[in-house]
Amino acid sequence: MGNFTSIVFDTACVRCRTRDGPVCGKCLLLLSGEPPTCPFCSRLRTEWTPCAFHRAQAVTAGISLAAYTADMHPLLWAAKFERRRVVAELLAQLLVRALAKTQWQPTIVTFVPSHWTKKLRRGYALSEVLARHIAGALNQPFGTLIATRRGISQVGLRRLERLENPRHRFFIRGPVG
């Protein structure tokens, strides 16, 4: 039988289930490298720039903590679908550190929104939690600049469909800057 904390709170690592959670030191190391991938779709790259697909969409830069692999799935799943906000905040802290290594000076921080029904069901929108934390850490304004239309969920779509689907689902709410 575990102690009171482990009975009341799940203290296991969300990835490997050791009792050193929410993310143990070993699993945290998986997020500390600089992955050779497109920061948007995880296509393999040799530098921190978007892949050809995203460059064609006028995306010029981005940050990724790690390629989306089976190792990363439990961390993102816990933060997004299991209401493990502490994991979401840890990911936000890691993104702030990664951003600090760049020369970027953002003037506003925004996010790609979830549909309001998903936000209600999950208790929060992961992208919004990450953006708010980053804006606060950087002492920069936070803005809701992107809106969503009803459409097909990304879940279950093939890779090319996941890359194309957002073009139809999201739009800029108003002038930026």
Neighbours of 151 (CB within 10 A): 12
**Contacts for 125-128 with beta carbons within 8 Å, 24 or more apart?**
126/76, 126/79, 126/80, 126/88
What tens digit of pLDDT does each residue of 114-156 get?
877 878 888 888 889 999 998 999 899 998 888 888 777 777 8
Q: List CB contacts of 134: < 8 A, sequence separation 6 or more.
A: 92, 95, 96, 99, 109, 140
**Contacts for 110-114 with beta carbons within 8 Å, 24 or more apart?**
110/142, 110/143, 110/144, 110/145, 110/146, 111/144, 111/146, 112/146, 112/148, 112/166, 112/170, 113/144, 113/146, 113/147, 113/148, 113/170, 114/148
C-alpha 44 chain-centroid distance: 18
Give the per-residue pLDDT at 43. 60
Q: How many CA atoms lie within 13 A of 127 on its CB side?
A: 15
Give the per-residue pLDDT at 152. 79
What tens digit of pLDDT does each residue of 40-83 get?
665 655 455 666 776 776 666 667 776 667 777 888 888 888 88
Give the per-residue pLDDT at 7. 44
* Mean pLDDT for the chain overall: 76
Give the per-residue pLDDT at 124. 84
